[in-house]
Structure 1
C-alpha cells in the first residue's frame, strides 16, 4: 500500500523542496487530506475581496489537497460575514488555513529540529504541521498553542485520529500564559529548543516567544511590516533573552490576531475636503513609497509603521500629463499626505492632514536607507529583546533608527 502522502512528497522532492530525510519521511506518512475540513474557502474569481466556500464535491479539491496549494480553512474567525450580494457562507477575511506544503517544509528545514529537541509551535490550525513535528520528533516533544478554542478542539480530533497526542493548549499565542500552568505542571521559561510560528508577527516579534527558548535555540517565524509581503525570519536565541537573525525567505501568512492591522486602505483614510487640510510642497519624491526594492520596503515599513499608500497614475489619454501621478499616503491614526509627482521634479505640490508629517517621515526613512548603502533584503536582520523588535544592516550593532 502506498504511503498516504506519496503524491505530495514526490512533487516536492522533484521540485527540490525536500532535502532532509526526517521531513521527507513525515511527508510520506502523514495524510494531509485528513487535516482538511469538509469546507474550505477560495478567492472568488469575480469578487477578489471575498472568499467563497468549496465543499468536498468540488472536482478541483483532490488537486488542492494533494498538490502544493494553501487553503483557507476558516474565515472571519469562524463566523462568515457573507458575500457581496449576501451569499451565506462567504467570507471577507481568511483567519486560519493549511499552509502551502512547500512553505511548510521550508520552515521545518530552517527550524532544524532534531530528535531530543522540544518544540513549541504557535498556531495549531488544523494540526497538519503539528503532526509532521510529532512524526519526526515524537509527540512528547511537541507543544502547540492555538488561540481559537474551536480550532484547537478540531486539531486535537484530527491529530488523535491520525495517531498523535501532543500537548495542544488553547491560549493566546502572544502571552503563552497557559504554559505557566500547563497539563504537566509549570514549564517555566526557556524550556524549548525550537519555536515555530505558523502565523505572522506584524511589526514586532513577541518577546514572550524568545523567553520560551533556551540560549542556543532557534525561533522561525513569518514576519511582516508595512506594505511588504511577509518574509521568513530565523532567529538564534542568546543569553539575556535576546534573539538575532536574518531574513531567509518569503512567507506570506495570516497575522497574529492580537497584531492585526486596521484594514482600511489609503484611499479610505484620505479626506481632501476636511477643513483642517494644509496645502504646501514637499521635496520628497512621492514615488519613493512605491519603489519595489524589498530592502527599502522593509526599512520603510519598520521606520514608518502602519504606512499605506496608493498611486494614481495620469490618464493614458492625456499625453500632456504623461508620467504624472497623485500619491496618497496615510496611517490609521488620522494622518495623511498627498503628493503630486511630475517628471519636472521637486518641489512637489502636497497636501496633508493629521498630527504627523508623513512626507517628512518617509523622507527620513529614505535617507537612512541611502546612508546605509541601499541594503537589499539579504543584508537585513532582526533583533528581538525586551525593548522590542529592531531592524539592522549587516550586523546587530548597526540598528536602523
Structure 2
C-alpha cells in the first residue's frame, strides 16, 4: 500500500521511520516499527507545543494551526511540550523543561538497551509517554514502570497511554530513587540526562542488567552512556556520542557568574594564553575536558568591558574558583587570562586539552565510566585500568 492510500497518521508514521532510518544508517527494527505505528507520536503531544526560531520559543496551538501542529509532531526533531516547568511568567524568557525527544535518539537508545519481550524495565522521565507507549507495546505494559517528577506530566501521560490501551505503572516521583517495589529490573532506561548515576538505579538493576542514560557534564551536555551492573554493585560502561537531553530536575544547578561566583572584591591573578578559547568548548575536545575536570562549567559574555570583544568565563560548580579569558577582537593567538580562587581553572583547562591532544584527540566512544559501590565515579580512556576520579556530587 502506498502512502497516498494510507491514512495521514499511517503515512506520517512511515515517513518518520524512513527519516529515522536515514539518520541511524539502517532500518528501524520491525518490532519497533510496529510499536511506533501502534503508539503514534502525535497521540502523546499536548495541544500546545513550542517551536524554536532564532533561539526563541514560540507557542504553536493545535486549535489555531492543526496542520502545522501535526507536521511538527512528525519532524525528526524534539518537540518542546512544556516551558519553565509549566509555570512561565508573563515577562519570563521561555526555556524548555519537557519535550518529546528526538526520534532518532529515542530509537538509538531503545536499540542500545537491547529490549526484548518479557524484559522488565524501569523508565526514568516519562515526559509525554511516547517512549512508554512503544515499550509497553513491545514488552507488555506489566513489565514497565515509568517515573515522572512532574505531576501534570505524569497525569497526562497516564491518560494518553490509557487511551491507547496501555496501563504500565506510572509513578509520580523523584527519578533518582527509581521504584523499589518492582525491582529488580533487567533494564533501566532514562530519557533525561544525569551528571551522576543514582545509587538506586544500580541497586534496582539486576546483576548483568543494563543502565542506558544520556550523560550531562557541566562543561558539555551530550553523550549516551551504557553501563553493565556487576554482582558487586559496580557499574561499568562506555559512551557513544548520540544524545543530548534535558537534565534531571533534581540534579539542576543554577549559578550566575555575576552575583553567585564573581565578587567586586576579588583580585585575580593575570596572565596570557595562546590556547584558542573556542576550541575547548565544542566537539571531542570539550567532551574530554569535561571528563577530566568534572565539576567545571563555562559561559560567554559579549563586550563585558570596553576594549574586550567577548569573554569566556570558567567556574567551579561550588562557585569558589573562576577564570576569565578575554579576546580584544583583534589578536587571534593571544588572550588575556584572569584567575581567582584555590584552583587555577584555566591552567586546568590547558592541561586537560594537552592531555587530549597527547592521547590522539580521542572521540567520546573511547571514553568510559566506572561507578563503584560507594558511589565514586571514575572516568577512563580505552580501558578502566587507567582511570581518574570525576569530581562532582
Instruction: Tell me how far apart the structure 1 counterparts of residues 347 and 14 of structure 2 sit (CA, whole Å).
Output: 51
Instruction: Tell me how far apart the structure 2 counterparts of residues 344 and 104 of structure 1 sit (CA, whole Å).
Output: 41
Instruction: Tell me how far apart the structure 1 counterparts of residues 45 and 310 of structure 2 sit (CA, whole Å).
Output: 45
1:97 Cα deviation from its structure 2 partner: 1.0
| Structure-2 change in CA distance of 1:221 and 1:162 (3 Å) | same
User: Corresponding residue for 2:3?
Assistant: none
User: Corresponding residue for 1:330?
Assistant: 315
1:221 Cα deviation from its structure 2 partner: 0.8
1:37 Cα deviation from its structure 2 partner: 0.6
1:339 Cα deviation from its structure 2 partner: 3.5
1:374 Cα deviation from its structure 2 partner: 3.1
Instruction: Give CA-to-partner distance per residue, 1:319-376, whole Å, 9 cap, x none.
Output: xx9xx9754323450532234565666xx64322334321232233234334544322
Match of 1:220 among 212, 222, 227: 212
User: Corresponding residue for 2:128?
Assistant: 126
Counterpart of 2:174 in 1: which secondary structure? Answer: coil
Instruction: Tell me how far apart the structure 1 counterparts of residues 261 and 174 of structure 2 sit (CA, whole Å).
Output: 34
Determine whether 1:201 maps to 2:194: yes
Match of 1:25 among 34, 39, 42: 34
User: Corresponding residue for 1:74?
Assistant: 82
Instruction: Tell me how far apart the structure 1 counterparts of residues 280 and 388 of structure 2 sit (CA, whole Å).
Output: 19
How many aligned residue pairs are there? 370
Determine whether 1:192 maps to 2:185: yes
User: Corresponding residue for 2:61?
Assistant: 55
Instruction: Tell me how far apart the structure 2 counterparts of residues 371 and 8 of structure 1 sit (CA, whole Å).
Output: 46
User: Corresponding residue for 2:292?
Assistant: 303
Gapped runs of 5+ residues in structure 1?
85-90
1:136 Cα deviation from its structure 2 partner: 0.4
User: Corresponding residue for 1:369?
Assistant: 356
| Structure-2 change in CA distance of 1:288 and 1:395 (3 Å) | farther
1:299 Cα deviation from its structure 2 partner: 2.4
Counterpart of 1:307 in 2: which secondary structure? Answer: strand
Instruction: Tell me how far apart the structure 2 counterparts of residues 167 and 326 of structure 1 sit (CA, whole Å).
Output: 48
Counterpart of 2:88 in 1: which secondary structure? Answer: coil
1:166 Cα deviation from its structure 2 partner: 0.5
TM-score w.r.t. length of structure 1: 0.82
| Structure-2 change in CA distance of 1:150 and 1:350 (3 Å) | same
| Structure-2 change in CA distance of 1:296 and 1:161 (3 Å) | same
| Structure-2 change in CA distance of 1:293 and 1:393 (3 Å) | farther
Instruction: Give CA-to-partner distance per residue, 1:171-209, whole Å, 9 cap, x none.
Output: 100122xx23x4xxxx34xx111111010113x222321
User: Corresponding residue for 1:87?
Assistant: none
| Structure-2 change in CA distance of 1:373 and 1:143 (3 Å) | same
User: Corresponding residue for 2:18?
Assistant: 13
Conserved? CA contact 2:80–2:98, under 8 Å: yes
1:389 Cα deviation from its structure 2 partner: 2.6
User: Corresponding residue for 1:171?
Assistant: 173
After superposing on structure 2, the runs of 4+ consecutive aligned residues of structure 1 that deviate more than 6 Å are 267-270
Counterpart of 2:175 in 1: which secondary structure? Answer: coil
| Structure-2 change in CA distance of 1:281 and 1:241 (3 Å) | same
Counterpart of 1:24 in 2: which secondary structure? Answer: helix
User: Corresponding residue for 1:394?
Assistant: 382
Instruction: Tell me how far apart the structure 1 counterparts of residues 86 and 325 of structure 2 sit (CA, whole Å).
Output: 41
Instruction: Give CA-to-partner distance per residue, 1:106-163, whole Å, 9 cap, x none.
Output: 1111111001210110011111110000000111111101111221111111111110
| Structure-2 change in CA distance of 1:327 and 1:78 (3 Å) | closer
1:64 Cα deviation from its structure 2 partner: 0.7
Instruction: Give CA-to-partner distance per residue, 1:264-298, whole Å, 9 cap, x none.
Output: 3x578775x8232234325x544256336633212
Match of 2:267 among 277, 292, 308: 277
User: Corresponding residue for 1:243?
Assistant: 235
